[in-house]
């Protein structure tokens, strides 16, 4: 495990991207620098390949998605018009895994908040904050989640929802203190958010994935494309918040009909020449109507296969590392899933973490 190095000169007064406000660069270290992963499934059940991966690559921190927060428009009181959804389940067997094999790892409970939920509780963020902190505290206690020192809020807030999200962060801080929890507060930071005001949290994770628009039928790769990333990181070196960096290791298939995005697909055999005709490098046209996973693919629909190629990851990482050269940070993979991670060699994974 590598420790952050405190360097003289890290404390600088820098202007934020909005309004010219002066903010002080965070004092280092915020936390230990270590190889990390997100775990983004509804059941915490690492298989043997997942465990071997964590051992092989010295994974020290796991960002564990606890639940999503979605809108509940049936509730009459505005402060309660957001509810938990898709809560992670930890079985007895995996509880023992946490207690025994993973007891030395850090866990960061992470809560994903939808924009609809934010809009529904606008002006009443304090109620949602109390509910989030209390629920996460109880889940951590019940499952004896080891080494918890941080709570993370994941939200793709925009200019219209920024105030509400920032109010939520402030309220979560207050709730953490009320519950007498020794937790930092962190948030995810999307590339477009780098140009906005800095959220009121202790540290952040720069999410370097979904860098393009999957709604764009002409995009080459919406998961990660160095050309999409480059315009956003010009001021990354002076961003006045400690940032760790997350890179994608997943693939997906996007369905388009008459150039309109229809939805995501999974596991479609695009090499089946009786069903699909290849048009370009990673796009295929359906030559028949195909039923798959409760969705009907129409003849003439276009499916785009996207992956997180090691070349694109490393090219993007090189640009970001150049900007963060004097700011220690952890590298995080999104996410721990053996079916996706098996597409990379151990040396390729090491090159991402190096």
DSSP character string of 249-276: ---EEEEEETTEEEEEE-S--TT-TTTE
Whole-number average pLDDT of the chain: 91
21 or 135: which carries more pLDDT confidence? 135
Instruction: Flag whether pLDDT at 6 surpasses 50.
Output: no
As a whole number, mean pLDDT of residues 139-162 equals: 97
Confidence of residue 228 (pLDDT cuts 50, 70, 90): very high
As a whole number, mean pLDDT of residues 344-348 equals: 98
Cis peptide before 29 (omega within 30 of 0): yes
For 241-276, what is each residue's pLDDT tens digit?
Answer: 999 999 999 999 999 999 999 999 988 999 999 999
The pLDDT, as a whole number, for residue 28 is 57
- Residues 81 and 349: their CA atoms lie apart, in Å, by 42
Exposed, middle or buried, 277 (CB in 10 Å: 0-12/13-18/19+)? Answer: exposed
- Residues 174 and 243: their CA atoms lie apart, in Å, by 22
The pLDDT, as a whole number, for residue 258 is 96
Q: Which residue has the tokens 């009121």?
A: 200
φ/ψ region of 259 (left if φ > 0, alpha if ψ in -120 to 50, else beta) reads left
Least confident piece of the model among 74-78, 280-284, 334-338: 74-78
In this structure, CATH architecture of domain 13-251+307-353: Alpha-Beta Barrel (3.20)
Instruction: Flag whether pLDDT at 12 surpasses 60.
Output: no
Instruction: Flag whether pLDDT at 5 surpasses 90.
Output: no
Q: Phi/psi at 13 (nearest 5 deg)?
A: -90, 120
The residues pairing with 38 across neighbouring beta strands, listed in sequence order, are 63
Instruction: Flag whether pLDDT at 24 surpasses 80.
Output: no
The pLDDT, as a whole number, for residue 77 is 84
- Residues 335 and 321: their CA atoms lie apart, in Å, by 20
Instruction: Flag whether pLDDT at 15 surpasses 70.
Output: no
CA 40 to chain centre: 9
As a whole number, mean pLDDT of residues 168-193 equals: 98
The domain segmentation of the chain, as residue ranges, is 13-251+307-353, 260-297
As a whole number, mean pLDDT of residues 94-118 equals: 95
The model's pTM: 0.91
- Residues 18 and 240: their CA atoms lie apart, in Å, by 12
The pLDDT, as a whole number, for residue 222 is 95
As a whole number, mean pLDDT of residues 321-344 equals: 95
């Amino acid at each position: 495990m590598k420790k952050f190095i405190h360097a003289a000169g890290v404390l600088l007064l820098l202007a934020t991207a909005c309004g010219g406000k002066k903010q002080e660069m965070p004092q280092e270290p915020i936390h230990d620098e270590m190889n990390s992963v997100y775990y983004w499934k509804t059941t915490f059940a690492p298989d043997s390949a997942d465990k071997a991966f964590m051992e092989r690559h010295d994974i020290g921190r796991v960002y564990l998605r606890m639940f999503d927060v979605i809108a509940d428009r049936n509730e009459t009181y505005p402060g309660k018009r957001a509810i938990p959804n898709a809560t992670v389940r930890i079985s007895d067997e995996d509880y023992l895994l946490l207690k025994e094999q993973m007891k030395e790892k850090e866990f960061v409970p992470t809560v994903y908040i939808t924009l609809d939920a934010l809009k529904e509780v606008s002006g009443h963020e304090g109620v949602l904050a109390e509910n989030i902190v209390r629920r996460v505290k109880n889940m951590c206690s019940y499952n004896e989640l080891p080494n918890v020192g941080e709570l993370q809020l994941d939200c793709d807030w925009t200019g219209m929802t920024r105030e509400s999200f920032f109010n939520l962060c402030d309220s979560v801080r207050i709730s953490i203190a009320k519950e007498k929890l020794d937790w930092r507060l962190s948030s995810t930071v999307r590339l477009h958010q780098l140009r906005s005001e800095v959220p009121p949290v202790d540290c952040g994770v720069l999410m370097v994935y979904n860098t393009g628009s999957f709604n764009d039928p002409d995009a080459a790769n919406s998961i990660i494309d160095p050309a999409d990333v480059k315009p956003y990181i010009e001021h990354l070196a002076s961003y006045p918040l400690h940032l760790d960096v997350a890179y994608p290791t997943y693939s997906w298939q996007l369905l388009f009909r008459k150039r309109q995005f229809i939805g995501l697909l999974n596991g479609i055999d695009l090499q089946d020449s009786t069903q699909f005709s290849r048009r370009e490098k990673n796009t295929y046209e359906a030559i028949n109507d195909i039923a798959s996973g409760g969705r009907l693919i129409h003849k003439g629909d276009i499916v785009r296969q996207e992956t997180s190629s090691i070349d694109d990851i490393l090219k993007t990482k090189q640009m970001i590392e150049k900007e963060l050269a004097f700011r220690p940070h952890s590298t995080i993979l999104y996410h721990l899933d053996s079916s996706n991670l098996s597409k990379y060699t151990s040396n390729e994974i090491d090159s991402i973490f190096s």
